[in-house]
A and B are shown apart, each in its own frame.
Chain A
Amino acid sequence: DICLIRSSGTHSSTGGSTLLGYIGIDTIIEQMRKKTMKTGFDFNIMVVGHSGLGKSTLVNTLFKSQVSRRSAGWARDEKIPKTVEIKSVSHVIEEGGVKMKLTLVDTPGFGDQINNDNCWEPISKFINEQYEKFLKEEVNITRKKRIPDTRVHCCLYFISPTGHSLRQLDIEFMKRLSHSVNIIPIIAKADTMTTEERQEFKQRVRKELEMSGIEFYPQKEFDDDMEDKSDNDKIREAMPFAVVGSDKEYQVNGKRVLGRKTAWGVVEVENPNHCEFAQLRDFLIRSHLQDLKEVTHNIHYETYRAKRLNENGGLHPISSSDTQESNL
């Protein structure tokens, strides 16, 4: 008899001894998972928007931890900085055995001055500096096993909920930076608009983004296949998400919920009828976190790298003794 070696698509994890031709390729997923759990993830998120739009509160709400020091509100002597500053803060958070090193890049001073010309430049410079750091490391003769990744994977841009349309500064910023970083525009402090006002505002904002040629994440051109496209189309239709952030809990209908308590009711942050925070969180963290990193690495970083290698005849590999920089 000739025994046919057949690899079967399914197998029982308890090891069915009747499956003759089982190779075990699919266990590689499990191996990868174990490995990544051991090494952990890096995620770098930047928040941009003028002061008071609830950036710090939102990030804390998203990651359910006090990632941003400023969540307690302004200290008495905190002033608006005269130029845009870039402040990075890292925390390691853990969930279900998975460790994530989350770095929050804050940009205080953006859009707060009377004259905001070129206030996006420090931000653009910072993003390119991170690409440069990574590039230098990559080009080394003796490279580190795991290149420390400080590149900005995602930039949350906070739109002021005026109810009218985007402001000029919003368009200027997003136009200039949407080709070097993944921009996710969100409508901040959405509890200032009724449901109809919010829908109208979103439509107007989307139209303006389209007219200005701003490609926000998830960008149409990077959809891999039909499945991706249809998923991402749904998300693009619903963007920009109108969110409300809060780190306080209140009792509503016998449950404890995160919310904001006013004289006329409690705005529940995770209630999809109240705002779109849950959608943003699911999109950002539960489904597209890895994709954000991949697009940053495969597309934005590669674009930067190609540009750099084409100028001045390219970079020369440097020995590790020249780079004294430590990670982060």
Chain B
Amino acid sequence: MDAILMQEKLVERLLCPRVRTARQKEKQYVGFATLPNQVHRKSVKKGFDFTLMVAGESGMGKSTLVNSLFLTDLYKDRKLLNAEERINQTVEIIKHTVDIEEKGVKLKLTIVDTPGFGDAVNNNQCWKPITDYIDQQFEQYFRDESGLNRKNIQDNRVHCCLYFIPPFGHGLRPVDVEFMKALHEKVNIIPLIAKADCLTPNEIKKLKDRIREEIDKFGIKVYQFPECDSDEDEEFKQLDKELKECTPFAVIGSNTVVEARGQRVRGRLYPWGIVEVENQSHCDFVKLRNMLIRSHMHDLKDVTCDVHYENYRAQCIQEMTSKLAQDNRMESPIPILPLSTPDVDTEKLIKMKDEELKRMQEMLTKMQQQMHDKDQ
């Protein structure tokens, strides 16, 4: 009887190897494939934040572009200063925050503006207030992260810097090169060609080629789009390739609605024609928006956290530990001080304790040696 049962089972197995009972199916399916959905639900509840910095001389259309990208009016109450008023002005850092919600997803957007950059006659080191600001945000995050209460860390780190290059030049100017070199290891830089509607298509191409060449020549590390996964479809890969070849993006901004080709579109009305902001054959605004918001926002944040912030952190720790200058100190992965301010007194104390520790260790090794000798 058993033999027949066994044979039947064998036949069953051979003929229909994949048929399983419902219970067995349940056993096979663990269920962690829903993890992305869970993460998604949680993030939607928590909301996202994104900090975008805009830099460039005044009159490059930065505010207009930001308003166009996020369909808001962040600069309603802004008063434009005239040249006399701006004579002794230094570069300022001004933050605007706006909460945007779309399809249930909340975004807390912070725009960091840098009025005064590059406007003076002598612009030596005019990027210093900007690098200082970025470092300050990193420092604040570092302290919070090393602190005891880490529940509500405010992430004010700058995730992306849009740098506006004037379309009037023949490529990068000295101030552009110096600015980008001062910032390329602290923040993701995306260079843009501003006010691109004063250039013919040929001129845009020449300018882009020239800028790309100079970026290579001066060793400026602008934000690189991550490579496509090999399993993406051809269309996506093609789009990605086009995007990469299009940098730096030549953009135009506008929030005024004009009538063109029978439709109402956002654009600029000239006596000789209408420039449509969202028309891809007119400018790269759509590409920039898609890249910045729709596909690479998360990657920008990741690179900021994983690369720029980590660089800062490593540098910071190295500076702190090199002050104490002891070998075993350098190897320890965790900084000894989760303190808010490594002031002189605490450092002295630490140094004393370190020396004590060293002495104790030496004594210990001596004792061990003695014991070892005794055993011999």
Residues of A bordering B, CB below 8 Å:
50-54, 73-74, 78, 80, 112-117, 160-172, 188-189, 191-192, 194-195, 204, 207-208, 211-212, 260-268, 271, 273-274
Contact = CB atoms under 8 A, between A and B. Distances in A.
Contact of A168 (B59, B121, B166, B272): B121
Contacts of B87: 168
B272 A117 contact: no
B119 interface: yes
B169 A52 contact: yes
B75 to A, nearest CB: 13
Contacts of B124: 114-115
Contact of A74 (B81, B167, B170, B276): B170
Among A54, A164, A260, A265, the most chain B Cβ lie within 10 Å of the Cβ of A164
B181 to A, nearest CB: 12
21 contacts: A52-B166, A52-B170, A54-B168, A112-B173, A114-B123, A114-B178, A115-B123, A165-B81, A165-B82, A168-B121, A172-B121, A191-B272, A195-B271, A212-B83, A212-B84, A262-B197, A262-B199, A262-B273, A265-B270, A271-B271, A274-B270
B364 interface: no
Contact of B83 (A78, A115, A116, A165): A165
Given A162-B57, A192-B197, A262-B200, A169 B121 contact: yes
A265 B273 contact: yes
A contact patch SS:
loop
Interface-central residue, B60, B171, B272, by most chain A CB under 10 Å:
B272
B69 to A, nearest CB: 19
A162 B271 contact: no
Nearest to B252: A192
Given A116-B121, A171-B83, A189 B168 contact: yes
The SS class assigned to the B binding surface is loop
B91 interface: no
A167 B82 CA distance: 8
B59 A267 contact: no
Contacts of A160: 59, 166, 168
A66 B173 CA distance: 27
Contacts, number: 125
A263 B122 CA distance: 38
Q: Which of A112, A114, A166 counts the most B-chain CB atoms under 10 A from its CB?
A: A114
Contact of A171 (B84, B169, B171): B84
Interface in B31-67: 57-61
B201 interface: yes
Nearest to A169: B121
B83 A194 contact: no
A268 B178 CA distance: 37
A273 to B, nearest CB: 5
Contacts of A80: 173-174
Contacts of A168: 83, 86-87, 119-121
Contacts of B270: 191, 194-195, 264-265, 267, 274
B175 A162 contact: no
A263 B202 CA distance: 11
